[in-house]
Structure 1
Amino acid sequence: MPTPTTGPSPGPTPGPSAADRRRVDRAAAGIALYAGAFGATFGAVSTGSGVDLGQTMLLSLLMFTGASQFAFVGVVAAGGTAVAAVSAALLLGVRNAFYGIPVSRLVRPRGVRRPLAAHLVIDETTAMAVAERDPALGRRAFWITGVVLCVLWNAGTLAGALLGRGVDAEALGLDVAAPAVFLALLWPQLRERTAPVTALLGAAVALVLIPLAPPGVPVLAAAAVALVLGLARPGARPGARPGARPGARA
Structure 2
Amino acid sequence: MGAPTLTSSPALRAGVRDAVPFAAAGFVVAISFGISARAAGMPALAAIAMSAFVYAGSAQFAAVAILAQGGSIAAAVIAAMLMNARYLAMGLSIGPSLHGGRLRRALEGQSVVDASWALASRGEGRFDRHTLFGSSGLQYLTWLAGTVVGVLAGAALPHPEALGIDVVFPAFFLALLVGELRSAEAEAVAVGGAIVAVVLGLLAPAGVGILAASAVALVGLRRPRA
Task: Give 1:224's match in structure 2, choosing from 206, 215, 222.
Answer: 215
CA 1:161–1:80 in structure 2 vs 1: closer, same or farther (change >3 Å)?
A: same
1:149 lines up with 2:139 in the alignment:
yes
1:32 maps to 23
Q: Which of 178, 182, 191 is 1:187 aligned to? A: 178
Displacement over 6 Å in runs of 4+: 134-137
* Residues 49 and 77 in structure 1, CA contact (< 8 A), matched pair in contact too: yes
Deviates more, 1:217-226 or 1:116-125: 116-125
Q: Is the 8 A contact 1:206 1:221 kept in 2?
A: yes
Amino acid at match of 1:175: D
- For structure 2, the 5+ residue unaligned runs are 4-8
In the alignment, the residues of structure 1 paired with residue 104 and residue 24 of structure 2 have an alpha-carbon distance, to the nearest angstrom, of 24
Alpha-carbon offset, residue 71 of structure 1: 1.4
Give the deviation of 1:198 after TM superposition: 1.4
- After TM superposition, list the pairs within 5 Å mapping 1:1-250 onto structure 2: 24-108=15-99, 113-130=104-121, 132-133=122-123, 138-165=128-155, 166-227=157-218, 229-234=219-224
* 1:146 to 1:85, Cα distance in 2 relative to 1, 3 A: same
Shift of 1:122: 1.8
Per mean C-alpha deviation after superposition, the further-off stretch among 172-181 and 147-156 is 172-181
CA distance in 1, matches of 2:181, 2:66: 36
* C-alpha distance in structure 1 between counterparts of 2:170 and 2:98, whole Å: 24
Secondary structure of 2:203 counterpart: coil
**Structure 1 position 82, deviation (Å):** 1.4
Q: Number of matched residues? A: 218
Query: What do residues 171-201 of structure 1 show as CA deviations (whole Å, max 9, x unaligned)?
Result: 3332222232222223233222311221222
Aligned residue for 2:137, secondary structure, equals helix
* AA of the residue aligned to 2:46: Q
- How far residue 164 of structure 1 moved from its aligned partner, in angstroms, is 2.4
Q: What TM-score does the superposition give when structure 1 sets the normalisation length?
A: 0.76
Relative contact order higher in (CA < 8 Å, ≥ 6 apart) = 2
Task: Give 1:63 shift.
Answer: 0.9
Q: What is the CA-CA distance between 1:167 and the residue it aligns to?
A: 4.4
Identify if the C-alpha distance between structure 1 residues 87 and 112 changes in structure 2 by more than 3 Å, giving closer, same or farther: closer
* Root-mean-square deviation (Å): 2.8
Higher relative helix content:
2
Contact (CA 8 Å) 1:72, 1:86: kept in 2 or not? yes
Give the secondary-structure state (helix, strand or coil) at the position aligned to 2:165.
coil
The percentage of counterpart residues that share the same residue type is 36
User: Quick one: structure 1 residues 127 and 138, their matched pair in 2 at CA, closer, same or farther if it must change by over 3 Å?
Assistant: same
Separation in structure 2 between the aligned mates of residue 22 and residue 152 of structure 1, nearest angstrom: 17
Which is greater in Rg?
Answer: 1
